[in-house]
Amino acid sequence: MYELEWCRKAKYNVQIELGCYEIDEEHPLIEGFEEVEFERDGVFKKYAVKSGTNDLEQNSWRTNPDRPYIITGTVGERWPVKPSNLTAYEVDPSEITVEPITISTKDPDDQEFLVACHIPLDQKIRVVTKWAFRSDGTIDESQILTSNSETSKVSHEDGDYIVAKHIEGGPQYMELPEQARNTKEAATLYSPRIINGSVMMTTYDHASTKEQIANKYKKTL
């Protein structure tokens, strides 16, 4: 049986930039962007977008009007995010431009506690995420995550972590049998994800008790 720990997002900095904007007379296409048309409210409009690869999962991405911002994480990984994702950070969206700026996560006291499970380097565990399930109930295999993946360009340190929501009074995600974990119901309830070992060290605080995590910030914030 795997040993479980409490965890919570830590206090850390990332880079953020605007990676998608509508092209018009005041905002022409600039170097590093490409022009793409998107339908918005029944009208096709031209947008400047950026593309790239996330070195953690080695998956490609492209910004769009729904995911216009690009975050560069603590180990150099880059990915596009929605405006709603900015609620985890201390930033005024109006301050975000095509030039990267540094932003910080919110006070850890505002972050929820989750349950983490360390997966040693020699073990590979598949996690079916809630976004892997299509509307018809079938699974998009490309959205299944695997711990300690060999495709990642980022070091796993001593192993990745599986992080999931805490269920009061019930079994935790990694306490479920594998067959029960890989269901839409479990994915929706627990919202499991795999956190690269290097990323876990820089973006999460984890310990055997909530008190140990909370006391860290009483001393440093």
Whole-number Å distance between alpha carbons of 43 and 111 = 39
Whole-number Å distance between alpha carbons of 188 and 82 = 20
**DSSP tag of 202:** H
Domain identity same for 101 and 130: no
* Count: domains in the chain: 2
pLDDT tens digit sequence for 160-208: 999 999 999 999 999 999 999 999 999 999 999 999 999 999 999 999 9
Q: Determine the structural domain holding residue 116 and report its residue range.
A: 4-11+110-220
Mean of all residue pLDDT scores within the chain: 92
Residue 69: which residues within 8 A CB-CB, separation 6 or more?
16, 17, 18, 19, 63, 80, 81, 82, 83, 85, 86, 96
Question: Which of 88, 106, 124 is a domain's end point?
Answer: 106
Question: Which of 87, 106, 125 is a domain's end point?
Answer: 106
Whole-number Å distance between alpha carbons of 198 and 10 = 14
- Residue 221's pLDDT is what? 47
pLDDT tens digit sequence for 150-170: 888 899 999 999 999 999 999
Residue type, 147: S
Phi, psi of 130, deg, nearest 5? -70, -25
Residues 64 and 57 sit within 8 Å (Cβ to Cβ):
no
Residues 184 and 131 sit within 8 Å (Cβ to Cβ):
no
Domain identity same for 128 and 70: no
Domain identity same for 119 and 203: yes
pLDDT tens digit sequence for 36-70: 999 999 999 999 999 999 888 777 899 999 999 99
Burial status of residue 141 (CB atoms within 10 A of its CB: 0-12, 13-18, 19 or more): exposed
Whole-number Å distance between alpha carbons of 57 and 146 = 9
